[in-house]
Structure 1
Amino acid sequence: MTIYILSHVYLNWIAYDFLTIAFIVFAIKRAKVTPSLSAYFIIIGLIINSVLVGFIYYDLYILGNTQEWWFWSFYSISINLIDILMIASLVINLDYVNINRGVKALKPSVKNGILNG
């Protein structure tokens, strides 16, 4: 069963993404814990998905475009890839951009004052 908040399915997807982001942020604040890297990946992924869905909505409903063009393929691939990466980061705590390694490499430099000037 789908609950429609707004009249168009794309606008609903954007609303659901932002409701999910708000819930994640609320849960982190309520629990008073440091967010995990996966939480950041999911929030960033949902924001990117929302932007892409907004562009597709604009293209289809505002501009009235009915002819397929490169952005439609980019949208389809990107949305699915981002969804898979969000699930992977949540389930197996996957760090696919090696942020943890980069942070660990920077910590000695910050402690020694190299980055502080």
Structure 2
Amino acid sequence: MMVSYFLSGIFNLSIYIYLNWFYFDLLTITTVLAWIYVAKIGSFSAIYYIVLGLFSNALLMLSIFVDIVVIENRTPWALWSIYSFGVNTIDMMMLIALITNRDFLLLHKLCRFVKGKKFKPWFIDESEKPTNA
């Protein structure tokens, strides 16, 4: 994560800073997932926070890029505050997750719960089986 932030200050993949940060977040997610796959590392709590945090940061960067560059908005509004607060909060959560490797928001437990469930549409009732009449 630190290497990504450092490299994004040196190398420019785009002339737009927010788009550059977006690309580096996606590159970091790809690198982390590839490292987990190649090294055959079991899942640990910090990975969920890193991937989800980087993905959230990437979405925030992309939304600010669209707002400022594509739409050419120069008037501050709620998205700018969400971006400022969100990116810093997410970065702190990723840092805490890396240092402690604790599932303090229960994301790891939630992911295991979702993986273990077999979701069925609410409108399918198995008690009513069709009969051949």
Matched with 1:12 is 20
User: Which of 66, 73, 76 is the matching residue for 1:58?
Assistant: 66
Contact kept, 8 Å, 2:97 with 2:103, in 1: the verdict is yes
Deviations 1:54-109 (A, max 9, x none): 000000001110011111011100000000000000111132213466789x7xxx
Structure with higher helix content: 1
Amino acid at match of 1:57: F
User: Which of 31, 46, 52 is the matching residue for 1:23?
Assistant: 31
Distance of 2:96 and 2:35 partners within structure 1? 20
The structure with the largest alpha-carbon Rg is: 2
Deviations 1:28-76 (A, max 9, x none): 1111121212111100100010001100000000111001111101110
How many residues end up aligned between the 2 structures?
106
Structure 2 residue ranges without an equivalent (≥5): 1-8, 117-133
Structure 1 residue ranges without an equivalent (≥5): 111-117
Change (3 A) 1:70 1:99: closer
Percent identity, please.
30
Change (3 A) 1:40 1:66: same
Question: What TM-score results when the alignment is normalised by the length of structure 2?
Answer: 0.72
Distance of 2:46 and 2:31 partners within structure 1? 15
Matched with 2:52 is 44
Matched with 2:10 is 2
Question: What TM-score results when the alignment is normalised by the length of structure 1?
Answer: 0.81
Change (3 A) 1:20 1:86: same
* Runs of 4+ with deviation above 4 angstroms: 99-104
Change (3 A) 1:6 1:27: same
Distance of 2:36 and 2:96 partners within structure 1? 20
